[in-house]
Structure 1
Amino acid sequence: MWQKLSRIPMVGTRVFSAAVSLKAPYFRTSLPRLRVMEPGLAVASAPKWWGVQNHIGTFHAIAACNLAEFVMGMLCEASVPATHRWVPKGMTTNYLKISKGGLTATATADLPDFAEITPESGGRNLDVRIELVDSEGTLVQDAVITCWITAKRPK
């Protein structure tokens, strides 16, 4: 669906991002907009609006974590084959600077050889690295979300 919708100027990425937010409603709070989705890479942005502001008027750190989880999920959806499944199992994050304006989150990962992950071999951790930069280009937060990858059992 991403390949088709992302080709539609102006509205395609918005429609796809809205569909993801309907499937996982909590993501709506950060108003994410997916920009890039391919194996090993995903990029999304979120505007600064009153719903993500903290008490000092900047992008709330936990709202930024929400954006980080959104972009991690898009990377995993683009990267993990249909023969496998993924689930986030942990997140570490560092709050580096106060943000100015909206945020752009970039998720990257070194992908495993999925053929080596079988029902017999068990699962494997996949660390997804996320950098969040503000509208001035300053790195304000980073995170690593560890996902557990397993092979689906044949039906």
Structure 2
Amino acid sequence: MTTSPIKKAYRALHDRPLGQWIFSAIVSLKAPYFRTIRPTIVSLEPGRGEARMRDRWGVHNHIGTVHAIACCNLAELVAGTTIDFSLPESHRWIPKGMNVGYLKKAKGTLTAVGTIEGLDTLAADEARDVIVSVDVTDPAGLVVVHADITMWVTPRRTAASAT
């Protein structure tokens, strides 16, 4: 089984000069909508991922704070990269749903941390919902948005099962 492109690129780039920036640009090219928030993926490890988004005019709403959907975009980005990095190579994922709570006005550079639990009990032939919990915090560390993102996880199709 081959390593996911996310894992391969992250492992090749994360310790290099400009590696975070290059990796984040690659992810944003693969899923172009993420470019609207100009994210930086700070870290990925099994069960946890972190990304940031600067507060700039392009992500503001009509009252001058970071738009709720920009926060959702950041949450989905960190959830997707975290589950991709965390899943065994035998499985794949697709977003299925998102429950979001907007808790405070979002101002300043925002940090999203996604966490996943329970993947260690995933059987090789098992398909199930997996929840990625994401907290988006402001520069003071206050949670401004919380999202529970449901991912539908299934075994990858192999050449033998495709016939």
Class of the TM-score when normalised by the shorter of the 2 chains: over 0.9
Greater share of residues in helix: 2
**Aligned match for 2:113, one of 103, 106, 124:** 106
SS in 2 for 1:48: coil
SS in 2 for 1:18: helix
Q: Which residue of 2 aligns with 1:49?
A: 56
**Aligned match for 1:139, one of 133, 136, 143:** 143
Q: Deviations over 1:2-54 (max 9, x none)?
A: 12211013x11000000000000000011110011011000000001111000
Aligned pairs for 1:86-101 (under 5 A) are 86-101=93-108
Which residue identity does 1:140 align to in structure 2?
V
Aligned equivalents of 1:126, 1:47: Cα separation in 2: 29
Aligned equivalents of 1:100, 1:55: Cα separation in 2: 13
Q: Which residue of 1 aligns with 2:80?
A: 73
TM-score if structure 2 supplies the norm length?
0.88
Q: Deviations over 1:42-67 (max 9, x none)?
A: 00000011110000111101100000
* Identical amino acids, percent of aligned pairs: 46
> For the Cα contact (< 8 Å) 2:87–2:119, is it kept in 1?
no
TM-score if structure 1 supplies the norm length?
0.93
Aligned equivalents of 2:33, 2:50: Cα separation in 1: 18
Aligned equivalents of 2:47, 2:29: Cα separation in 1: 24
How big is the alpha-carbon RMSD for the aligned residues of Structure 1 and Structure 2? 1.3
Q: Which residue of 1 aligns with 2:40?
A: 33
SS in 2 for 1:153: coil
Q: CA deviation at 1:76?
A: 1.1
Q: CA deviation at 1:90?
A: 0.2
Does 1:3 find its partner at 2:11?
A: yes
SS in 2 for 1:137: coil
- Greater than 2 Å deviation, 4+ residue runs: 111-115
Q: Which 5+ residue runs of structure 2 have no aligned equivalent? A: 1-8
Q: CA deviation at 1:153?
A: 2.5
> For the Cα contact (< 8 Å) 1:107–1:129, is it kept in 2?
yes
Aligned equivalents of 1:57, 1:101: Cα separation in 2: 11
> For the Cα contact (< 8 Å) 1:104–1:132, is it kept in 2?
yes
